[in-house]
Structure formats: structure tokens, C-alpha cells
Amino acid sequence: MALIEARALTKVYTMGDQTVHALRGVSLDIDEGDFVAIMGASGSGKSTLMNIIGCLDLPTQGEYRLAGEAVQGMHSDQLASIRNRRIGFVFQQFNLLPRTSALENVELPMVYSGIKSAERRDKAAAALTKVGLGQRMDHTPAELSGGQQQRVAIARALVNSPQLILADEPTGALDSQTSEDIMRLLTDLNQQGMTVVLVTHEADIAAWARRKIVFKDGHIIEDTLNAHEQKKWGQIPIQDDNLSEARNANTTLGSDPISFAAVEVNT
């Protein structure tokens, strides 16, 4: 069953006398429980798509459904609600409050959900334990390593039990060994049924996903299963090697939201 359904999405920005076409008729489905990496050069449209998938922005034209809910016509309060109910965000720079403990950082999304204090603390403690930080709950970000800070961010993303994790360059500020630890954690969450969509510039990070989607000039130019999934399912990759006439591959491959986290992500 498709969790994400996008049909003919376009996004146009006007900057002075210039018009920028960030997305040009993008269509795709992402199933529940999938693990998808989105790649592309700066300005390719990948981050614009992530903003739309994350209900941080709306398309200029086209249709987008998240868990069956039509998103494209929603106003700002409705978008905040769907983010809070359905999406957990993980960002490259962690976006943690510096003078606040790990436990209190993880509690924040539940404040916006109106959950009472005792329940918030119990759920935040459980989420931190799940990501291996049960002994670091009272530490502030400055007292944690980069990898530990990203684990706090992942716990914060999980705490409201979302259907989708959106990770924008989640390993971009980490060394290679810590990056591997974070990707192993995201993989474990996916294997437990969480849908994970991440943006990355790094091929070795994208290789952890089941499926890779590559953008160029607002189009999808490649939509493939990664090698380990091709072998598993016997699938043939769908690619468009004619970059000058790139067209979208509209395919379905394959069988824990923070309203204050609506930060700008460059395309």
C-alpha cells in the first residue's frame, strides 16, 4: 500500500524577474515500510520534493496524498497537524535546543500535541532507550558527541509514533564510522516497519536504502532498486540515460513530526 502518492507535481518559484522550475511534473509512489534514498546535485529538485513530502511546502500544481490524505489543498494549521501526526524529521545539524537535556529535547514534539508531562517523560525516555541513549537522558547537546546528538534527534522524530521518517542529509555532519552507526539505526527502524525517506549526496549512504531515486533539473532520471534489493527481488532497474530529455519513472517498487522544525532546506 502506498503511503506517499505524488502525481504530476510541479513547483515554480519567482525570484525577481526570474522563474525557477524546481519540479517539473514529478510522479511517484512510496510504499509503507519502504526505505528510499533521494539523490541529485544542488538545484536538482530533491529538497523541494522533500519539503512537499514533509508538508513543509505545497506544490504549485499536482496532487499529493500522504496516508490517503490529500495534502495539496491544506492550509497552514492542517499542514502542522499532519506533520505532527504522521512525520518525524531528522536534519543534518540536529536542531537540538542547546541548554536543554536530551530528555527535554525529545519531549518537545509532544508539548505541541498536548500530551501531559508525566506521559511525555515516559515516552521520551522510551524513545531514547530505543536509540541506545538510556544512560544519557540528562545530558545537554554539548555533553554529547555528534552521533549521540543525531540519535537524540532520531528519538525526537520517533516519539509521536509517526508513519514516516524524513531524514535530510542525516550523516552530513558526522564522520564515516558514526555515519555507519546512524544508518544502521535507521535500517533497524525500517526493518521494524518504519517508512524512511532520506536525502543524501553520498552514494555509500544511499546504498543502505532499498530504492534510489535520482533527480536532475526537476525531473526523476533514475528510479532503481539498490543492488541488494535487485538480487532479492530479481527486479530490472528503471533508468533514463537521455539526460537532455529526462522523463519521470512513475513506478512502485518493492512488495516516528515537529511543527517548529519547518526550516528552509535548499534545493
Residue from 186, 190, 233 nearest 33 by CA = 190
Here the contacts of 67-70 (C-beta below 8 Å, separation 24 or greater) are 67/3, 67/163
* Residue type (1 letter), 106: V
For residue 1, the model assigns a pLDDT of 84
pLDDT at 241: 45
Instruction: Report phi then psi at 40, rounded to 5.
Output: 150, 155
β-pair partners for 10: 24, 61
- Tell me whether residue 74 is exposed, middle or buried, using C-beta atoms within 10 angstroms of its C-beta: 0 to 12, 13 to 18, 19 or more: middle
pLDDT at 16: 87
Q: Does domain 2-261 have CATH number 3.40.50.300?
A: yes
Quick check: 41 and 200 in contact, CB under 8 A?
A: no
The set of cell numbers assigned to 180 is 555507519
Bridge partners of 224, per DSSP, are 212
Which residues have a Cβ under 8 Å from the Cβ of 191 and sit 6 or more positions away? none
Spell out the domain ranges in the chain: 2-261
Q: What pLDDT does 88 receive?
A: 95
The string of DSSP codes covering 206-233 is HTTSSEEEEEETTEEEEEEE-HHHHHHH
Low-confidence ranges of the chain (pLDDT < 50): 236-267
| Coil/strand/helix, residue 198 | strand
Tell me phi and psi for residue 73, to 5 degrees.
-100, 10
Nearest residue to 216 (alpha-carbon basis) of 237, 239, 246 = 246
Rounded Cα gap, residues 48 and 225, in angstroms:
22
Phi, psi of 3, rounded to the nearest 5 degrees: -85, -40
Cα distances (Å, whole numbers) of residue 265 to 47, 124, 240, 258: 6, 27, 27, 15
Across 76-90, b (16+ Cβ under 10 Å) vs e yields eeebbbbbbbbbbbb
Q: How far is CA 164 from CA 15, 66, 160, in A?
A: 32, 10, 11
- Cell digits for 45? 529538485
